[in-house]
Amino acid sequence: MRTSSAALAAFFWSSSILARPQIPGQTLTGTAGNTTIAGSSGGPDSNGKYVIEGVGIRATFIPYGASISNLFINDTSGVERDIVTGFDNASYYGIDRQHPHFGGVPGRYANRIKNSSFVIDGKTYHVLPNENPTKAAPAGADTLHGGPDGWDWRNWTVVAHTRDSITFSLTDPDGDQGFPGEVVSYVTYSLGHMTWDFKMVALATTKKTPIMLSSHTYWNLDGFANTETATALNHSLWMPYAGQRVGTDNILIPTGDILSNQQYSLNDFWSSPKQIGANFSNPDLLGNCGFNCTGYDTCYLTDRAADGPYDWREKGPVARLRSAWSGIQVDVFTDQDAFQVYSCGGQNGSMALKSTQGLHGVEGRERTIQQYGCVVMEVEDWIDGINQPEWGRGKKQIFGPGDEPYVLQASYRFSLNGTAVGLNGPGSG
């Protein structure tokens, strides 16, 4: 009986949310569960993408992974830039063998799970591994982004689509990838006045299970068109609350240690804005993102509670990314308590740019994503918190029938900053 009540609660909760007009004065034409898409009689464009628009911003999304595929902003010269990675046609996402998680929603548990296992109420669960294979564990030593068929490998259902918003849904069955219990999830993306907002909701309907989601979007605020560099190392990053980070081993599995980011150290992005590439000449950066890796693939903790209760929409941003070349700046606000930064050290020039990006016909500039050509920013909770009970993240990462739903909210607020150098002088972006 409890299961049925939870499932019905999930249905009516999601239906009531989706049925609300998302544009003042607009009435949607249906709700979740109907065969028609709420709010729009139109479908995807010729490339299989759903278009939504705001003021000074335009984006496309696809059902595969509930992924963002394009995000268009004008730079300080008035030139439109497509500032996220992806593919030109939606059909390519499902067949690309590299699967770099372009713009998708990793789940049901984002980032890494140590030993592909966890314990809930004294019972050990084993999920499918998919990273760092060894002779002893040929399928992998850990699980990344929910496993070999995680949520960003799947086609979601479009349940609402308006001029400025789109909602996707996914039902993840009990036992899939080894996770216990059914989970029903809804993700809504919306555009406003140069803003991109999203809300991710997931409900565990039958058993206790881990849930942690994110948006795995790769950014290049120059649209890969910077005539001076093919990388994003010129981008400045500022994370004013990120005085600490999660310590990891050489395959990026958390050790349980919480490390301080000393002022002026390699991982200090809190004391002032700093170009992502500012410390790349420092030999100590080797290994900072795992074995033989130079750069960042780091979970920073965003401690905003020290000053008392706060509204995440106002207390922030947790991060600011800016390119002095394009003048495009994005401030990230979120209700999440951690922020993963990946400097794209794994890119090697084998992934093609979209036709909407890069330089065309310029000798010496390949139309591919070069190493360090992008940066991933993931709003999420403390990574692998399900295997670190001493952190006390259980209530934020383990959910069961009758519990409040898992909720992630974020707001990406764009602006134009024409300062030729960083706010703190050369080297600060």
**Count of other CB atoms within 10 angstroms of residue 328:** 25
> pLDDT tens-digit profile of 13-28?
444 444 333 333 333 3
The residues, ordered by sequence, that sit 6+ positions from 151 with a Cβ below 8 Å of its Cβ are: 65, 66, 104, 105, 106, 107, 108, 170, 172, 185, 213
Task: Give me the mean pLDDT over the 249-268 stretch.
Answer: 98
Q: Which pLDDT value is given to residue 110?
A: 98
pTM: predicted TM-score of the whole model, two decimal places: 0.91
pLDDT band at 422 (very low <50, low <70, confident <90, very high): low
Residue type, 401: P
pLDDT at 424 over 70: no
Q: Tell me what pLDDT residue 307 has.
A: 85
Query: What sign results for the dihedral spanned by CA atoms 191, 195, 198, 199?
Result: negative
What are the backbone angles phi and psi of residue 362, rounded to the nearest 5°? Answer: -105, 120
Q: Where does the pLDDT of residue 426 fall: very low under 50, low under 70, confident under 90, or very high at 90 and above?
A: low
Catalytic residue status for 378: yes
- Provide the Cα torsion 328, 334, 340, 342; round to 10°: -20
pLDDT tens readout for residues 314-343: 998 999 999 999 999 999 999 999 999 999
Q: Which residues, including other chains, have CB under 8 Å from residue 259's CB and lie 6 or more apart?
A: 244, 245, 246, 247, 267
Active-site residue, from 145, 182, 235, 378: 378
Q: Tokens representing 417?
A: 């900053």
> Does the pLDDT of residue 407 top 80, yes or no?
yes
Q: Predicted confidence band at 42 (pLDDT cuts at 50, 70, 90)?
A: confident
Catalytic pick among 182, 216, 235, 380: 216
Each residue's pLDDT tens digit, 180-190:
999 999 999 99
* pLDDT at 414 > cutoff 80: yes
Taking only the tens place, the pLDDT of each residue in 90-122 is: 999 999 989 999 999 999 999 999 999 999 999
Cβ–Cβ < 8 Å for 198, 189: yes
- Coil, helix or strand for 43? coil
What is the residue-averaged pLDDT of the chain?
91
> Is residue 427 very low, low, confident or very high in pLDDT (cuts 50, 70, 90)?
low
Give catalytic status of residue 101 as yes or no.
Answer: no
- Determine the pLDDT at residue 37: 75
Q: CB-based burial of residue 404 (10 Å sphere; 0-12 exposed, 13-18 middle, 19+ buried)?
A: exposed
pLDDT of res. 397: 98
Helix (H, G, I), strand (E, B) or coil at 273: coil
